[in-house]
Structure 1
């Protein structure tokens, strides 16, 4: 089900089809059963919270993306039915009453993430190096620090022994502490990339891994452990229903999956893209899409679930991508540009410290051309990894394209323009556009995603004249919503949210591939 409802893409010149299904859960993080019996899912990337009927898979948005919560990462329910939400980027903890009223419980925390309720008491930890565990007081009063020194905390829960259990994500450990404070105690070490600590209905400790393999570790009453590999990359959290069935979320691909330890995982809400942001196709026509946490592909083994590599394997939050023979060049919102060889599984760093690099293209001389949105410039990276500024003084360059004669074009989202780079400057080709983002060259024309009007334009680079190729594209936020400003990615270890980017590319067969980040699909436009 697309977030754009039943709207149909309109095009008189192209046949449009989706390469993969839309994503109903835009990334999925913290999960908790609410008083209504539905599983509530915090969606950090979407900035919203949804409720899922775990029997039917029906999804309903209960905290929309244009509400006060900017980046919900985990949630818990109090004894009175209030929902408590960690808002990671602003460092807030919210309370939402059963009547739907919001208030701030705590502010000034550093990446608050794991949250749990113990009767009328509320506890939160920080996903931060040297993070802390707090007790918060919704009725008033300063937070009480139970302990510090966490190597990035995350989902935690009260154990049957009355102690709070929580992970150290960076050291592979599980710790516990009394709700009254005191000295923390190490419970387990060498746990595979722990991200969530949970107890099933029988009181057994279960730890979820955030790694590529999707490992779930179970501890029996004697402390022995057993491992189950789910194959779900980027697990984030888990909950057990009344029948002791385990339901897991994935920060990397969203969705909701039931884990049966003696059978295959069963999708409750299918996984999918949480973007995608940019898309490219290699010489054989195989496409790749950047999805913030992953690099997704069109291959059968990944299929409609749009799986892919996690950021740890590519070094950063992937945003722009372009194919170059057998290689892929990617930009990261950490400021890196990297070249990835899928066959050899090797990565080469080409540049670091760029200012919010976005779209990337390969120039006629083999150099990479990169739009640096944060610096208002376009830069080149030659074969020896020397960075040269080609043009600056732009308002908000998002994407770049290279024409048949090697000339470079750039979409400037904030200025509403498409420009052609020239010696020492950037000449205006087209003006008056509404948030132009993705741009590509095909058969003597520029194809530009006009995200502000949800249209695809074909632009004559000589005259600037344009025509509308497609309308009602599922790009940007859903109609009627006004998302709050996102906190950008700034540095490794400090979570941020991706900038809007609807990329486009020309495939070898003459079709166009468009990253429809509003609904989680890649669109293929073929001549009708």
Structure 2
């Protein structure tokens, strides 16, 4: 049956409301685009700590999305319990009185939300705050991971300062207290499961030989331990007191945390796949609770010669290849199980892929054909965009210092400051074919797009008055396409005149910034294919969109 004229008219009106109408200007017609979904989104930006509330819901922490969510186990529906800025949780648990507690990894804050009440911060200045658990007597413990390596006792009411118990354990992660009131948890850097007496400080190894154990929980009878191994993608049962190991289920790599229900069903989070699965230990069967095809899509790149416009997606917990035309994920390189480290930006050279990560503070150069990591360069200055120039040197945007720096090809690498004084540089795109080669950079703090001459670092303003510009790409005709995150719109800028055209608005982009993170931390990525189709990542929705030119 053909659609009615009224339905066709309503669809046309809806499209006109979403997209700009073409018109003639002194610079020619305004382009018009049709917005389409490439990959549908998710409620999460990576899933981490889990906790069951005993009422048919699973609480899940969402670190980069700065939220704590509740998953209805009967329907799979996801709701937000706490959003930004206090919701940035790495792990979550319930206290004896039913209060919900969670850890802010980046902010170093510990939050408490009573059953009926408002969220408040009960501890601060604990960077890398990660895991947490209560002992049977109500004493409360947390650990620092990555940005620290320590075990602390914390007042659940926040009335007294945290007390240091142990430091230098070997990265104690997701832990739980056993029936003997000892703390059981994984030592990430040692591949071991340890038992800790928090009263005496005694540490004993109860099992070892793991790739990267990230969390443990006792079974429903509190006799044996379930362990998730992130590198091997395994759920393992450790028999106590012998420490004997038994594989319960094999899953994709990137497992982060787990919780066990009273029926002994094991719920496991996977940050790489942005999902949660439940495992029946009796037969090893696996059932999805929450699924997603992307985790935290950020930087985007597409080869200009690629007729199929296959995208490189810096997905924070993975580097993925996604078909720009059909959304098919054809290749995934995962963190933890490979040398790749949490990519947030991606750019393409003739033979290389360049990734940068403010998450772990480094830049990586990969072989474009094989995907092999060729170089890893540390940079803790809030590194954002990274480009490989024709001579093989790298150009990096340091959002925290406001510098653009060159990194040469030598080992160890030498660094030269090209320019400084930029205000939150995030996105980079090169114009190396010009008579005076340069690079365009978005400044998220100043709201400018600036051109920097590669010869001497001289700067000129291309456009200003933007609100939090992040991702930037060049159209085949030379125009600049920019994600203006502060106004949640996609704009085109003419480099010669600075004229700005809004291509799409009302976009779901721009997670709020959080304390402890560099400017533009989770960047909104932009890429343009040879057809003129524009691709945009949505950090809020964990989705990927395309904007197709309308003839």
Shorter-normalised TM range: 0.7 to 0.9
Match of residue 470 from structure 1: 504
Q: Return the offset for 1:159.
A: 2.4
Candidates 183, 187, 197, aligned match of 2:206: 187
Report which stretch shifted further, 251-260 or 444-453: 251-260
Q: Return the offset for 1:131.
A: 1.9
Report which stretch shifted further, 407-416 or 378-387: 378-387
Task: Return the alpha-carbon distance in structure 1 between the equivalents of residues 376 and 330 of structure 2.
Answer: 30
SS at match of 1:187: strand
Match of residue 186 from structure 2: 167
Match status 1:259 vs 2:279? yes
Task: Return the alpha-carbon distance in structure 2 between the equivalents of residues 167 and 64 of structure 1.
Answer: 29
Match of residue 290 from structure 1: 314
- Structure 1 segment 139-218 matched on structure 2, within 5 A: 140-141=159-160, 143=162, 147-178=166-197, 180-181=199-200, 183-203=202-222, 204-211=224-231, 213-218=232-237
Q: Return the offset for 1:272.
A: 4.3
Tell me if the contact between 2:249 and 2:279 (Cα under 8 Å) persists in the aligned partners: no
Tell me if the contact between 1:293 and 1:317 (Cα under 8 Å) persists in the aligned partners: yes
SS at match of 1:419: strand
Task: Return the alpha-carbon distance in structure 2 between the equivalents of residues 122 and 289 of structure 1.
Answer: 44
User: Deviations for 1:307-347, whole angstroms, at most 9, x for unmatched residues?
Assistant: 54206734544222112245211123244332102543422
TM-score (norm 1): 0.86
Q: Return the offset for 1:57.
A: 0.7
Match of residue 328 from structure 1: 353
Tell me if the contact between 1:121 and 1:136 (Cα under 8 Å) persists in the aligned partners: no
Match of residue 56 from structure 1: 75
Tell me if the contact between 1:273 and 1:306 (Cα under 8 Å) persists in the aligned partners: no
Q: 1:142 to 1:447 in 2, by over 3 A?
A: closer
Q: Return the offset for 1:381.
A: 4.2
Which structure would you say has the larger RCO, counting Cα contacts within 8 Å and 6 or more residues apart?
1
Q: 1:87 to 1:388 in 2, by over 3 A?
A: closer
Task: Return the alpha-carbon distance in structure 1 between the equivalents of residues 104 and 390 of structure 2.
Answer: 45
User: Deviations for 1:179-237, whole angstroms, at most 9, x for unmatched residues?
Assistant: 654533221121231111111214331111222x3211112456431225533332111
Match of residue 140 from structure 2: 123
TM-score (norm 2): 0.83
Match status 1:417 vs 2:451? no
Q: 1:228 to 1:435 in 2, by over 3 A?
A: same
Q: Return the offset for 1:53.
A: 0.9
Q: 1:228 to 1:286 in 2, by over 3 A?
A: farther
Match of residue 224 from structure 1: 244
Report which stretch shifted further, 83-92 or 361-370: 361-370
Match of residue 358 from structure 1: 384
Task: Return the alpha-carbon distance in structure 2 between the equivalents of residues 417 and 319 of structure 1.
Answer: 21
Task: Return the alpha-carbon distance in structure 2 between the equivalents of residues 105 and 344 of structure 1.
Answer: 48
User: Deviations for 1:129-153, whole angstroms, at most 9, x for unmatched residues?
Assistant: 6522536453855555554442111
User: Deviations for 1:250-289, whole angstroms, at most 9, x for unmatched residues?
Assistant: 2334321122454553221113434322101234432111
Q: 1:462 to 1:183 in 2, by over 3 A?
A: closer
Q: Return the offset for 1:527.
A: 1.6
Task: Return the alpha-carbon distance in structure 2 between the equivalents of residues 104 and 365 of structure 1.
Answer: 50
Q: 1:305 to 1:10 in 2, by over 3 A?
A: farther
User: Deviations for 1:114-171, whole angstroms, at most 9, x for unmatched residues?
Assistant: 2222345133232346522536453855555554442111111122444321111111
SS at match of 2:169: strand
Q: Return the offset for 1:292.
A: 2.5
Task: Return the alpha-carbon distance in structure 1 between the equivalents of residues 197 and 361 of structure 2.
Answer: 41
SS at match of 1:360: strand
Q: Return the offset for 1:91.
A: 3.2
Q: Return the offset for 1:475.
A: 1.0
Q: Return the offset for 1:417.
A: 1.6
Q: How many residues align?
A: 507
Match status 1:444 vs 2:478? yes
Match of residue 480 from structure 1: none
SS at match of 1:501: coil
Candidates 505, 510, 513, aligned match of 2:527: 505
Q: Return the offset for 1:92.
A: 3.3
Tell me if the contact between 2:348 and 2:354 (Cα under 8 Å) persists in the aligned partners: yes
SS at match of 1:170: helix
User: Deviations for 1:90-127, whole angstroms, at most 9, x for unmatched residues?
Assistant: 43333211113334444444533222223451332323
Tell me if the contact between 1:402 and 1:408 (Cα under 8 Å) persists in the aligned partners: yes
Match of residue 390 from structure 1: 418
Match of residue 495 from structure 2: 461
Tell me if the contact between 1:294 and 1:311 (Cα under 8 Å) persists in the aligned partners: no
Match of residue 234 from structure 1: 254
Task: Return the alpha-carbon distance in structure 1 between the equivalents of residues 493 and 524 of structure 2.
Answer: 17
Tell me if the contact between 2:278 and 2:287 (Cα under 8 Å) persists in the aligned partners: yes
Match of residue 334 from structure 2: 309
Q: 1:527 to 1:103 in 2, by over 3 A?
A: closer
Candidates 260, 263, 273, aligned match of 2:294: 273
Aligned-residue RMSD, C-alpha:
3.1
